[in-house]
Amino acid sequence: MELKFSDFSTVIIVNKTHGHTRSLQIKTKHLRLYKHYIAIIAAVIVCLCLSVFYLNYRADKQEVEKQNLLSQISRLEREIPPPVSKTNTADKAQTYIQGIETKLKKINSYLTKRGLSGFSVKTTDADKAAEAKLSDADKYEKYNDHLNRLVSCIAFIPMGYPRLSGMSSFFGGRTDPFNTEGKENHPGIDFKGSMGDPVKCTASGKIIFAGWYGGYGNCIRIQHTNGLETLYGHLSKIGVKEGQSVNVGDVIGAVGSTGHSTGAHLHYEVRKNGRPINPVNYLTLNS
């Protein structure tokens, strides 16, 4: 059906500088509904702002919980008394053992509250029989060694997330992002992010590389214990130098899209003796 001339309104635009005028014909129904259009656009902007605010609030809250956990572990380690000698009384040794058991359970509780799997303390019947033969002082030393290993595990073994965001690509075979008909082996995990978002190291260690690394673009590699290494690729900014020591949670760079990349994100790898392994196994304490 043809529209009538009255279905359109004429808008005249005047150029004050040159004195020219232009006219535009707009459907009258659009002019009548302009307030609705403005309200819809405003509602979309408000929703986007609220989403950004909520995501920032959630990230800050999780970071605070992480720092509280690490502070709690550090404080518990300082509170543990020195190893009990075999000459001490059985009652004093037993008190120390009970104190360590309580602290181990508390650490496990903090891990669980943060969504991480707690550490395993399962023992076999043979282990129980062997433990029954130990003196209280020997039991204390055993628990103390276990706690020390736990603290070392949390500090120096990659655990958790280099940035608090969703994952866009996982370890293993996937479609080549530059050739949708081809396949490739993806050696790590891609975390979603915006240009300039902070990237944090997942464990304490030493920077063994910081610079341009082929398809990884701007890249940082950190050496940890037990032949473990973490790699952070496609960075827009590198904030550390080779040979520098870093602690778990330190900001080492920023999200980018350098190298072989289709958009801003963080490529994260965990390597064992130089070979990439699935980082998912290190997102919780038990690997």
pLDDT at 255: 95
Do 220 and 182 reside in the same domain of the chain?
A: yes
- Is there a domain that residue 151 lies in? yes
Given 125, 156, 187, the domain boundary residue is 156
Instruction: Write out the residue range of the structural domain in which residue 107 sits.
Output: 62-156
Same domain, yes or no: 129 and 174? no
In this structure, the answer to whether residues 133 and 188 fall within a common structural domain is no
Asked whether residue 121 falls in the same domain as residue 187, the answer is: no
One domain for residues 183 and 277: yes
- pLDDT tens track for 116-130: 455 555 555 555 566
pLDDT band for 275, please (50, 70, 90 cuts).
Answer: very high
- Specify whether 243 is located in the same domain as 269: yes
Reply yes or no on whether the pLDDT at 250 is more than 80. Answer: yes
In a domain, 222, yes or no: yes
**Has residue 34 been placed in a domain?**
no
If one compares 153 and 84, the residue with the highest pLDDT of the two is: 153
pLDDT at 87 over 70: no
Say if residue 100 is in the same domain as residue 204: no
Q: Is residue 93 part of a domain?
A: yes
pLDDT for the residue numbered 179? 59
Q: Which residue has the higher pLDDT, 18 or 185?
A: 185
- The pTM for the full model equals 0.50
Between residues 141 and 50, which one has the greater pLDDT?
50
> Residue 207: inside a domain, yes or no?
yes
Confidence category of residue 1, pLDDT binned at 50, 70, 90: very low
> For residue 60, what pLDDT is reported?
81
213 with 264, same domain: the answer is yes
Q: Are residues 125 and 215 in the same domain?
A: no
Q: What is the pLDDT of residues 174-225, one digit of tens each?
A: 666 665 566 777 888 999 889 999 999 988 899 999 999 999 999 999 999 8
Please report whether residue 1 resides in a domain. no
Residue 3 lies in a domain: no
What mean pLDDT do residues 52-57 have?
85
Query: What pLDDT shows up at residue 63?
Result: 81
Kindly state whether residues 126 and 180 are assigned to the same domain: no
Are residues 183 and 251 located together in one domain of the fold?
A: yes
Average pLDDT, the chain: 76
Q: Who wins on pLDDT, 109 or 224?
A: 224
Q: Is residue 48 in some structural domain?
A: no
Looking at the structure of the chain, the number of domains it has is 2
Show which of 128, 156, 184 is a domain's final residue: 156
The three-state (H, E, C) secondary structure of the chain, written as one string: CCCCHHHEEEEEEECCCCCCEEEEEEEHHHHHCHHHHHHHHHHHHHHHHHHHHHHHHHHHHHHHHHHHHHHHHHHHHHHCCCCCCCCCCHHHHHHHHHHHHHHHHHHHHHHHHCCCCCCCCCCCHHHHHHHHCCCHHHHHHHHHHHHHHHHHHHHHCCCCCCCCCCEEECCEEEEECCEEEEEEEECCEEEECCCCCEEECCCCEEEEEEEECHHHCEEEEEECCCCEEEEEEEECEECCCCCCEECCCCEEEECECCCCCCCCEEEEEEEECCEEECHHHHCCCCC
Instruction: Mark whether 67 and 125 lie in a shared domain.
Output: yes
